[in-house]
Structure 1
């Protein structure tokens, strides 16, 4: 049964010493240290730490929740992976977040439900925004149209070839054909 700590600061100017001291005082025998922004998805030491924790009864310690996860959903993903391996999770500065106890599991379950609810709300708002944009006739995604459709049509009416129109309009022949086919 290993007690493993994870310490992270956002920039190279910050110091890990306080976190490491707290983790050691709480019984961490191995500590993974990282100087990287929490929003960075490629945190190699976090990945290494999570892979190291593999035995039932192991525990991951962090000093504060924001040292580990980018969001509630990210936290839920991490702790779900730990639970699947039988690994506990504790936040030293928040005693209620301790999946090695019944109360801690309850608190975490509530947090997970809130994260799921937030995700559903974001998706709902996104879908409303898309529906509103469609109703207003705005196109969604892609590059804004920069072709002058009227110019292309008038050049075609003058009898110019697709290649000549493309050269004058500053676009590809396939773009000209697309405008003319609509």
Structure 2
């Protein structure tokens, strides 16, 4: 029975160290980590790898539920996939596990809270952007990915997953850059 740790932050600027140290202290081996949004499961290759190789009796451990996902449906689907494999989920803060029915109920509520929090963040961000636009100070976010380097790596024969890993972005982001769909968008 393995305790598999999963750490996630939303952007390449953020640090995974605190989560990884906590997972190591809990005896997790291996620990998989990634820098990608938790809004959906798109582009989360490390989580997908865990779900592919987790076995009966294994335990997936995350520091907080929002590190697993910010969408209630996604979190519940992950719990369901773990159930199908005979594995469990443990959240360290607050300590909750799917080994028992009460833990499942608490996880459902926490998942709903994480989803609400994400909506609130997006609403505050949208309000701030609108206010900045009205005051003529909004210029959009700074680009964090060298699009030409992404295109060159892809043209050099590297697949979208490899390009995404190299730049710390999602595969979907790679596809958007290659299609040119985000000409004026910030990363």
Question: Is TM (by shorter chain) over 0.5?
Answer: yes
What is the distance in 2 between the residues matched to 1:52 and 1:18?
25
Partners of 2:10 and 2:37 within 8 A in 1: yes
TM-score scaled by structure 1? 0.56
Alignment correspondent of 2:51? 50
Pairwise CA distance, 1:106: 4.2
The count of corresponding residues between Structure 1 and Structure 2 is: 113
Pairwise CA distance, 1:39: 2.3
Alignment correspondent of 1:30? 30
What is the distance in 1 between the residues matched to 2:13 and 2:43?
20
Alignment correspondent of 2:8? 8
SS class of match (1:77): helix
Pairwise CA distance, 1:62: 0.4
Pairwise CA distance, 1:102: 4.3
TM-score scaled by structure 2? 0.55
Radius of gyration: which is bigger? 1
Task: Report whether the alignment pairs 1:69 with 2:69.
Answer: yes
Partners of 2:63 and 2:92 within 8 A in 1: yes
> Could you say what the CA RMSD is over the residues aligned between the two structures, in angstroms?
2.4
Alignment correspondent of 1:103? 102
1:54-92 Cα shifts (integer Å, max 9, x gaps): x21100000011111131111101000001111010110
Q: Which runs of 4+ in 1 moved over 4 A?
A: none
Unpaired runs of 5+ in structure 1?
A: 119-182
Larger RCO: 1 or 2 (CA < 8 Å, sep 6+): 2
Unpaired runs of 5+ in structure 2?
A: 117-187
Alignment correspondent of 1:180? none
Q: 1:52 to 1:107 in 2, by over 3 A?
A: same
Alignment of 1:77-92 (within 5 A): 77-92=77-92
